[in-house]
Structure 1
Amino acid sequence: MQAPQTTVDPSEIAKFEAMAAEWWDENGKFKPLHMLNPCRLDYITTQIAGEFDRDLKAPEPFKGLRILDIGCGGGLLAEPMARLGADVVGADAAERNIPVAQIHAEQSGLKIDYRHTTAEDMAAKGEQFDVVLNMEVVEHVASPIDYLIACRQLLKPGGLHICSTLNRNPKSYMMAIIGAEHVMRWLPKGTHEWSKFITPDELFDLLREAGLDPVDRKGFVFNPIKWDWRLSDRDLSVNYVTASLKPA
């Protein structure tokens, strides 16, 4: 099954174009991602280290690994991967995100290959990566299955795919839309469409259909008392993350 030329949803891209300049404002529209980022990084680094037998205590544990952050935004994940020694490509379909990410990386003394492109275009050009980070993107594309096929094509045999998204149930509607967009006003109203959220079982089925082998899933759980996030083996009710492998 061949992926189409693009799975980009223009209306979704327009939302993030409008917020591009605020990526690195920890109290701005991307505050939820800044709060979630340590938890995301904990999962990502642990999965990569385990799969590629890397010591996270080493100076550059990911040296020699080529990592793609698809839907990279302003570089909140790409920069930590570069600091860990990886050869990082950050790709985003929202053009205005790229100069924001480039400038911040330069100011931070990091070399990251940022590109305004899509997963499908990169796959068509034969790009290959050890790891594809696909975080909070799949719920914004026009065709999740075709998008995941492109992500699989971008992986080397035996490569690791990490994908996070939002579950679809009444709790996620209350937390991610009513809570984050209407009550806390962390995000502009309309940032998410609840109907596009994907349950963990649905995502595992999509990953398998795309030719990947799902091997793990965990929840990102927000604690309103401690005001932080933690990983959970059981609670995948709102935010969750998966790890999959491309067969060797």
Structure 2
Amino acid sequence: MDNATATSAAAPTIDPNEAAHFGSLASQWWDPNGSSAMLHKLNPVRLSFIREAIDAHFGSDSRSVRPLAGKRALDAGCGAGLLCEPLARLGAAVCGVDAAPENIAAATAHAEAMGLLAPLPYPSPEGEGAAGTVTYLSGELGTLNLGTFDLVTALEVIEHVTDKAAFISQLAARLAPGGLMILSCPNRTLTSRLLMVEAAERLGQVPRGTHDWNQFATPEELAALAADAGLELGEPKGIAWSPLKGLALSDDLSLNFIVTATKG
């Protein structure tokens, strides 16, 4: 490991203010009508992209209900587990990591109620590889001893970290050879500023203070960060909004985009 890689692996990326903001919303995370209502609308759209990407990358049968059986998945910035639980139901042994201990507590309680909580936490060898279960940890991704994963996801997280380059490098370090990474981020455009910050936050669709438009990344910026970390991005897909369809996958990248990444 060279000095630059070692520095990135240990660099702090958690913004305490961001962690406190999202931690304060933990009790409402699983309420589809609460402060995370927009995430509940977004989640099926993201899962559609993820399932297609999994089948394309790993060659799984699109009719299979457990295409991730025998695989390990990491969701970085997992919140209270809205993505982790579906990944577990797809057969993965899932580890969710988040900056806010309150989110991890809410995620753990919900997974336990759903019968999805892993019997033992990472990095215990006995706790790893439990197909169809989730375990949760709070802390800096770069300092947790987690090993590598077949699938790594970080959705709507990059815009909330203090050091994007270090965070992407830490994600890359967790990706196993031949693995698949999926990233999503709001695009820094006039459209995202008007709809995600001005409209959504002012109209109460998203809690005030959730987004800092200046921290959004463009697809070109994310591609450059990924390349520096030894990753190659696929073709981004937009997540757009319309009055008729609501949120849906689109060729329009101006609001939000989701993309695969693999080791080059």
Q: TM-score, length-normalised on structure 1?
A: 0.94
* Structural mapping, 1:52-131, within 5 Å: 52-110=58-116, 111-122=133-144, 125=145, 127-131=147-151
Q: Distance in 1 between matches of 2:156 and 2:77?
A: 8
Percent of aligned positions that are identical: 41
* Residues 120-178 of structure 1, C-alpha deviations (whole Å, 9 max, x = no match): 123xx361001101100000000101100000000111211110001111111000001
The answer as to whether partners of 1:28 and 1:186 remain within 8 angstroms in 2 is no
Match of 2:238 in 1: 219
The answer as to whether partners of 1:152 and 1:246 remain within 8 angstroms in 2 is yes
The answer as to whether partners of 1:39 and 1:230 remain within 8 angstroms in 2 is yes
The answer as to whether partners of 1:140 and 1:196 remain within 8 angstroms in 2 is yes
Q: Which runs of 5+ in 1 are unaligned?
A: none
Question: Displacement of 1:230 after TM fit?
Answer: 1.4
Query: Secondary structure in 1 aligned to 2:74?
Result: strand
Q: TM-score, length-normalised on structure 2?
A: 0.89
Match of 2:188 in 1: 168
CA distance 1:126–1:81, change in 2 (3 Å): closer
CA distance 1:41–1:126, change in 2 (3 Å): closer
34, 37, 48: which one pairs with 1:42?
48
Match of 2:223 in 1: 204
Query: Secondary structure in 1 aligned to 2:240?
Result: strand
The answer as to whether partners of 2:182 and 2:260 remain within 8 angstroms in 1 is yes
Match of 2:262 in 1: 245
CA RMSD of aligned residues (A): 1.2
Match of 2:248 in 1: 230
Q: Distance in 1 between matches of 2:162 and 2:95?
A: 23
Match of 2:34 in 1: 28
The answer as to whether partners of 1:216 and 1:244 remain within 8 angstroms in 2 is no
Specify the code of the residue in structure 2 equivalent to 1:178: E
Q: Which 4+ residue blocks in structure 1 deviate beyond 3 angstroms?
A: none
Q: Distance in 1 between matches of 2:77 and 2:218?
A: 20
* Residues 35-86 of structure 1, C-alpha deviations (whole Å, 9 max, x = no match): 0111000001111121111113224221011100111111111000101111
6, 17, 20: which one pairs with 2:23?
17
